[in-house]
Amino acid sequence: MTAQSALAAALQRQPPPAGGFSPAILRLEIRRLLRNRRTMILALILPVLFFWSIGLNNSYVHQRAGHGNVSAVEMISIALYGAVAATAACGAMVSIERASGWSRQLRVTPLSPTAYIVIKMLTSLVLAAGAVCAVYLLGAVTNKVSMPADLWVITGLCVWIGSLLFAAFGLFIGYLLPSENVMQIIGLALTLVCLAGGLFIPLSQFSPDLRTFAEFTPLYGLSQLVHYPLAGGTLEWIWILNLAVWLAIFVAGAAWRLRRDTARV
């Protein structure tokens, strides 16, 4: 083939489908994730240790709550903590990728920003699934959690899907802040948000003022919703509103920063 006909052939090339997204990318991203010790500790080891140390004591085991026992409530809480830590940390990894120039490098490939975000979301869902499974597995093998079988599945899925809220949070923070600080900030923010959302201490133990404040924090709605199948009672519209508003804030923030980023880099 002459250089000319080679060029003519090359000009007929088509861009890849789906903005460059492929299962191969996802596989490599997951492999990368498994190598990241800090993220694995944050998302898998810590929740398991927390649940082990606080969720399984005998007073919880023998105390009823909704359709199960308090250990089941604790298990859902801690699984949610692990899942949001996982998704937030994964989302925030864009910060490291920006600082290293990797996202700039990706922009000289066919990968579209949307496909990139989808990859980040899916990767964080994989890690979140790991976090939920680890905590639920501990609950199952210790035989201390009492909850109907279908609720194991339902609450687990709710926690898993719900944790996407914090993938958006992680992306927002990841695009907003330089990489040196982002993990510390995410860690601190998560601890506060989980505390305010009642994941570590039940909201019933908060003072009335603090409780009112807690209802405006990002994990309140999601936490109430994922506990609802177990707790029963009435479904409060404020939970859904809380979740919807925070989701809108995080997604809008991430989209805003992403647009700025792609305009500049």
Asked if 13 is part of the footprint of another protein (rule: CB under 8 A), the reply reads yes
Asked if 111 is part of the footprint of another protein (rule: CB under 8 A), the reply reads yes
Which of 32/62 has CB closer to another protein?
32
Asked if 101 is part of the footprint of another protein (rule: CB under 8 A), the reply reads yes
Asked if 8 is part of the footprint of another protein (rule: CB under 8 A), the reply reads yes
Residues 158/225, Cβ–Cβ less than 8 Å: yes
Asked if 142 is part of the footprint of another protein (rule: CB under 8 A), the reply reads no
Asked if 179 is part of the footprint of another protein (rule: CB under 8 A), the reply reads no
Identified binder of another protein from the candidate list 38, 62, 64, 102, rule CB under 8 A:
102
- Tracing tokens 């790991």 back to the chain, one arrives at 130
Q: What is the DSSP string of 88-116?
A: HHHHHHHHHHHHTTHHHHHTTSS--HHHH
- 64 phi, psi to nearest 5 deg: -80, 150
Asked if 64 is part of the footprint of another protein (rule: CB under 8 A), the reply reads no
- To another protein, the closest distance from the beta carbon of 254 in angstroms equals 21
Q: Which of 140, 152, 135, 146 is nearest to 64 (CA)?
A: 146
Which of 77/124 has CB closer to another protein?
124
Which of 13/234 has CB closer to another protein?
13
Asked if 189 is part of the footprint of another protein (rule: CB under 8 A), the reply reads no
Asked if 265 is part of the footprint of another protein (rule: CB under 8 A), the reply reads yes
- 3 phi, psi to nearest 5 deg: -60, -35
Per CB under 8 A, the segment of 27-35, 175-183, 229-237, 240-248 that binds another protein is: 27-35
Asked if 109 is part of the footprint of another protein (rule: CB under 8 A), the reply reads yes
What are the residues whose beta carbons fall under 8 Å from the beta carbon of 171, sequence distance 6 or more? Answer: 91, 92, 94, 117, 120, 250, 254, 257, 258
- Tracing tokens 């601190």 back to the chain, one arrives at 188
- To another protein, the closest distance from the beta carbon of 18 in angstroms equals 11
Per CB under 8 A, the segment of 20-28, 61-69, 122-130, 132-140 that binds another protein is: 20-28
Identified binder of another protein from the candidate list 57, 63, 100, 114, rule CB under 8 A:
100
Q: Rounded distance, CA 10 to CA 1, Å? A: 12
Q: Rounded distance, CA 183 to CA 148, Å? A: 37
- The dihedral region occupied by 64, where left means phi > 0, alpha psi between -120 and 50, and beta the remainder, is beta
> How buried is residue 174: exposed, middle or buried, by Cβ count under 10 Å (0-12/13-18/19+)?
buried
Identified binder of another protein from the candidate list 57, 105, 184, 212, rule CB under 8 A:
105
Q: What is the DSSP letter of 10?
A: H
The residues binding another protein (CB under 8 A) are 3-4, 6-8, 10-11, 13-17, 20, 22, 24-25, 28, 31-32, 35-36, 97, 100-102, 104-111, 264-265
